[in-house]
Amino acid sequence: MAKKNDIPTVKNEEQYEALRDKGVSKEKAARIANTPDAGKKGGQAPPYEEWTVDELQDQAQKVGIDGRSKMKKAELIEALRSN
């Protein structure tokens, strides 16, 4: 039986709640809210098509996409956009 102290915490609770309010699953909301740059304003990155495969793989690792090392660039882009 899990104890209360064994429950993982969310690093950015405000972002987690905002994502949950938008209908994002608990798992995905927690994964996003627990990234190192959680809550930082974005929108400055170039489109994924301009990223290198290595950059896409690094981003896929940050958001927890399995099988990323065997994916081609187009597959990585699709996985990142649908995750």
Please give the Cα distance from 35 to 50 (Å, whole number): 22
Please give the Cα distance from 44 to 69 (Å, whole number): 26
pLDDT of residue 2: 44
- Number of alpha carbons in the 13 Å side-chain half-sphere of residue 81: 9
Q: What is the pTM of this model?
A: 0.51
Element (H, E) at 29: helix 26-33
Token readout for 36 is 């190192």
| pLDDT tens digits along 15-44 | 888 889 999 888 888 888 888 776 666 677
